[in-house]
Amino acid sequence: MTSGKPRIKGGSHRIPEGISNNESAGNLLVAASQLLDGSNSWEQIWGKLLLAGFDPHAINSALLELQPDCEISYRMSPPSSPAIEQQILLFGQVSAHEGSVAASELLVMVGQKLQASLSSSEVAVFGESREITTEFHRRLEQVGVVKTQTHYSANGSYGEVEQHPIEAFAHQLMGAKSSLMICATSGGNRQLSKIVNRAAIAHGIPAIYYHAQGLQVQLGPLVIPKQTACYECYKIRRDATLAAWERSLLGWAREGGQLASTLGTDWVLVDAIKHLTGFGEPVCRGRVLFIDYYAGLPEVHTVLRLPRCTVCGNPRRPAVRLWDESP
């Protein structure tokens, strides 16, 4: 059995006689028991029950009641239950601060709607290593995103052969009400970013990019197809500002070291939550955030679309009619 994914001993849970009179509580226990089959983590079970319309407090009580009947590789309480409740309250408070809550609405009700939207969202994470994709997957589960897929290159680099599974993931996300692609790279190799960018634009899926290089992290841009500049727009504009010696440093960076701990993933997570729930403007929407952890200096730069971008724009040059031009 996978570590941290509970399963009921014997495959079923006996519902106490006192609860049989309470139809709502009984239905919740039945639904929770069906999910406790060893294929879902506590976070996934909590999110799926919330998405099914059950009350967060009732979910918490039901999972605590079912826990003694479960077998897992290491004992743990349902970690997302109290944490998600606090997150729901936070969503409501932020929405009220932004003025998007009606006077008749309760903060918890608003937070529950946003959490349900987050739980129903679908996210695909692409990275150059298993460690980085696992880190993003873990963080997404913590906040209640239960539909997460990951893909990484076995040899640490991407080529045209990896383009097909990425396009397949993007095609699957087209049917989701709310979806996002996360691309994580490091060092001087950004071939994966180009592949994800083409697939995201072609299928109309939003994508956010993460890049770590030494003690510096680049977050963004968050690309919304047909609304913001794509990754190719950013790359062309960035390369146009680099001197020759700076371009040589990009090649040298491929051999550079990396910190054992992943930096800056929390920024990506918050922007992903903002985008998927719509309760705030993502910092990286059409922008790039640079963080130098060594110097402690953050920078934000706006990325403008290229009218003739070969990926998101119209690459055709307008016809030049010399006879229409004045002398």
pLDDT of residue 79: 42
Q: 326 Cβ partners below 8 Å, 6+ apart?
A: none
Q: How far apart are CA 173 and CA 292, in angstroms?
A: 33
Mean pLDDT by 10 residues, the chain (327 residues): 60 50 74 83 77 80 75 45 82 79 64 87 90 92 88 62 76 86 83 91 95 89 94 91 66 65 91 91 94 91 91 71 56
Class of residue 213 by CB neighbours under 10 A (exposed 0-12, middle 13-18, buried 19+): middle
Q: Where are the alpha helices (DSSP H) in 14-146?
A: 23-35, 42-51, 56-66, 80-97, 107-119, 130-142
Strand order of the β-sheet with 287-292 is 147-152, 122-127, 179-186, 207-213, 216-223, 287-292, 297-302
Within 13 Å, how many C-alpha atoms sit on residue 153's CB side?
23
Mean pLDDT of the chain: 79
The whole-number pLDDT of residue 186 equals 83
Q: Which amino acid, 36?
A: L
Domains and CATH numbers, the chain: 7-12+20-80 (no CATH), 120-302 (3.40.50.720)
Closest CA to 201 of 177, 183, 189, 219: 183
pLDDT confidence of residue 187: 74
For residues 170-194, one letter each, b for 16 or more C-beta atoms within 10 angstroms of the residue's C-beta and e for the rest, the string is beebeeeebbbbbbbbbbebbbbbb
Q: What is the pLDDT of residue 14?
A: 54
Dump pLDDT digits (tens) for 291-309: 999 998 899 999 999 988 9
Apex 185 CA angle, 152 and 166, nearest 5: 40
Q: In whole angstroms, give the CA distance from residue 150 to residue 127.
A: 8
Residues in the chain: 327
CA quadruple 193, 197, 200, 202: dihedral sign: negative
